[in-house]
């Protein structure tokens, strides 16, 4: 007799059962799951069930989950909870996560949540919200080891033994010497183990490498690279110690910025989309972008309509139209990527447009000649027509030059116009390269129509 296999209960199903029957079991059950499993299970629940699970969790456990989801989604979850529950979860978040999540919360709900928090915690959260998310102030954590210069090595080690382990390993590496709020030095905690327990920090510390609270993401990244450390103290213009920015948080911000630019370039504009969001909202966000592309494509194909007679006379041209536009688009997208990266790093700005164009034009000429020769050779072999090969070769070479020129300079122009280059560069590039590609192929073919018709 065959024994039936036991049915495996999915985490999402188990959570539904626990929420319906015994909410006290939710917290212990989630402790048995990995972080990704918790996120996956939570987003397979409907909205009301997610709120019920969050309300049943200890604030510390709920905060761990909130840290694992995108900030926009975390803010939506926080907004749907009673103010007191939301305040407890926000208080349990690390300070940099508090700022990121609260920055996405609507003003009315934000006031309620801050009002439900302890006055000291609310004041600290408000101070963090002042700084842009991608600045040193927005990335920093307030938790760090700080002692006066008169403190001894044994004082720091005792603090580490008693409670300092609540900080991350990176934050435990350094002890910051602060006098009246001003940063005067830094000491490595490992050095304190090797000195006399009565050695004062004033004798062990060294001058600190700091980053200003207003520094942007690229500057913070560069400072960490130059100092070759995993964390740096953040100070204001007067030198007061405000917090610490960690390498890991900067890396996360860089990855998120790149992912955000990638989503924008594919038409996912606004808050990050997840498939757990309402269908109408997801469809609406995508449709606005797709509708614009319908209009832009109509403009591109109007060029083909203008050369209908040429296309009818040499039908082989239809094969090469998408190749020329696609290859040129790829070259243009490479130029867009480089300009976006340099804009992010602050290497170039709108005033550098002419220099950027000249650098891209040189690449465009070389690559255009190489690609055009390759495609022209293929066309000649296929149709045994030198004229056809020459037309498509010249069209691709010229359109490659146009594409890299547009791709390199349009992001800078859009930045000057205070528009988001990550969103608008793609449609502009695609429309121009398609129009120019179609025009060049069909225009040159019209000029060479007698040779093409003769098959020479």
Q: pTM for this one?
A: 0.60
The predicted pLDDT at position 167 comes to: 59
- Measured torsion, CA atoms of residues 114, 236, 180, 194, in degrees rounded to the nearest 10: 100
Helix (H, G, I), strand (E, B) or coil at 156: helix
Q: What ranges do the domains of the chain cover?
A: 13-130, 146-263, 279-454
The predicted pLDDT at position 270 comes to: 52
Place of tokens 């920015």: 245
Q: Where is pLDDT greater, at 406 or 266?
A: 406
Q: Where is pLDDT greater, at 242 or 269?
A: 242
Alpha carbon distance 388, 448 (integer Å): 9
Alpha carbon distance 21, 289 (integer Å): 44
Tokens of 355: 């220099």
Model confidence at 39: pLDDT above 90 = no
Torsion sign (Cα): 54, 55, 57, 58: positive
Tokens of 85: 């529950």
Helix (H, G, I), strand (E, B) or coil at 215: coil
Q: Which CATH class is domain 146-263?
A: alpha beta
How many other CB atoms are there within 10 angstroms of residue 120's CB atom?
8
Range of lowest pLDDT (190-199, 238-247, 262-271): 262-271
Of the candidates 437, 443, 449, 307, the one whose C-alpha atom is nearest the C-alpha of residue 387 is: 449
- Percent above pLDDT 90 for the chain: 20
Place of tokens 């797709």: 290
Out of 3.40.1400.10, 3.90.1010.10, 1.25.60.10, 1.10.10.10, select the CATH number for domain 13-130. Answer: 1.25.60.10
Long-range contact list for 442-446, CB < 8 A, 24+ apart? Answer: 442/303, 442/304, 442/306, 442/307, 442/310, 442/311, 442/317, 442/321, 443/307, 444/391, 444/394, 444/395, 445/307, 445/310, 445/314, 445/317, 445/391, 446/307, 446/310
119: Cβ–Cβ under 8 A, 6 or more apart, which residues? none
φ/ψ of residue 200, rounded to 5: -85, 150
Q: Where is pLDDT greater, at 304 or 266?
A: 304
The predicted pLDDT at position 94 comes to: 81
The predicted pLDDT at position 273 comes to: 55
162: Cβ–Cβ under 8 A, 6 or more apart, which residues? none
Q: Residue 103 pairs with which residues in a beta bridge?
A: none
The hierarchical CATH code for the domain 279-454 is 1.10.357.20
The predicted pLDDT at position 276 comes to: 55
Helix (H, G, I), strand (E, B) or coil at 178: strand
Task: Give me the numbers of helices (H) and strands (E) for the chain, helices first please.
Answer: 23, 6
Of the candidates 119, 71, 112, the one whose C-alpha atom is nearest the C-alpha of residue 93 is: 71
Per-residue model confidence as pLDDT tens digits over 436-448: 888 899 889 988 8
Model confidence at 367: pLDDT above 70 = yes
């Amino acid at each position: 007799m065959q024994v039936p296999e036991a049915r495996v209960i999915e985490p999402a199903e188990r959570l539904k059962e626990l929420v319906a029957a015994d909410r006290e079991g939710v917290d212990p059950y989630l402790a048995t799951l990995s972080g990704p499993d918790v996120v996956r299970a939570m987003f397979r629940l409907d909205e009301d069930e997610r709120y019920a699970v969050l309300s049943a969790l200890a604030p510390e456990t709920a905060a761990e989950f909130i840290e694992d989801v995108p900030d926009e989604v975390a803010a939506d979850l926080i907004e749907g909870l009673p103010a007191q529950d939301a305040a407890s979860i926000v208080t349990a978040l690390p300070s940099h996560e508090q700022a990121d999540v609260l920055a996405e919360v609507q003003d009315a709900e934000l006031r309620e949540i801050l009002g439900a928090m302890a006055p000291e915690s609310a004041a600290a959260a408000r101070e963090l919200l002042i700084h842009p998310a991608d600045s040193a102030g927005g990335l920093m954590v307030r938790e760090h080891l700080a002692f006066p210069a008169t403190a001894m090595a044994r004082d720091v080690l005792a603090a580490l033994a008693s409670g300092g382990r609540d900080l991350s390993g990176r934050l435990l590496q350094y002890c910051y010497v602060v006098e009246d709020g001003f940063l005067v030095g830094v000491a490595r905690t490992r050095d304190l183990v090797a000195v006399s327990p009565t050695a004062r920090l004033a004798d062990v510390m060294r001058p600190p490498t700091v980053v200003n609270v207003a520094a942007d993401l690229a500057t913070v990244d560069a400072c960490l690279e130059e100092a070759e450390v995993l964390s740096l103290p953040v100070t204001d213009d007067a030198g007061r110690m405000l917090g610490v920015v960690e390498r890991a948080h900067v890396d996360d911000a860089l990855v998120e910025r790149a992912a955000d630019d990638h989503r924008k370039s594919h038409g996912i504009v606004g808050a990050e989309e997840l498939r757990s969001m309402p269908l109408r909202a997801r469809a609406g966000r995508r449709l606005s972008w797709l509708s614009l592309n319908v209009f832009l494509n109509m403009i591109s194909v109007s060029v083909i309509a203008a050369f209908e007679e040429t296309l009818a006379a040499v039908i082989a041209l239809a094969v090469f139209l998408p190749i020329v536009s696609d290859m040129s688009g790829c070259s243009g997208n490479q130029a867009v990527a480089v300009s976006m990266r340099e804009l992010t790093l602050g290497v170039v700005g709108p005033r550098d447009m002419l220099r950027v164009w000249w650098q891209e034009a040189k690449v465009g000429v070389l690559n255009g000649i190489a690609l055009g020769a390759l495609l022209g050779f293929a066309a000649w072999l296929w149709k045994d027509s030198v004229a056809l090969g020459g037309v498509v070769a010249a069209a691709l070479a010229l359109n490659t030059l146009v594409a890299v020129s547009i791709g390199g300079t349009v992001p800078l122009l859009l930045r000057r116009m205070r528009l988001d280059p990550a969103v608008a560069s793609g449609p502009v590039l695609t429309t121009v390269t398609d129009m120019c590609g179609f025009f060049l192929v069909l225009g040159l073919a019209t000029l060479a129509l007698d040779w093409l018709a003769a098959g020479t």
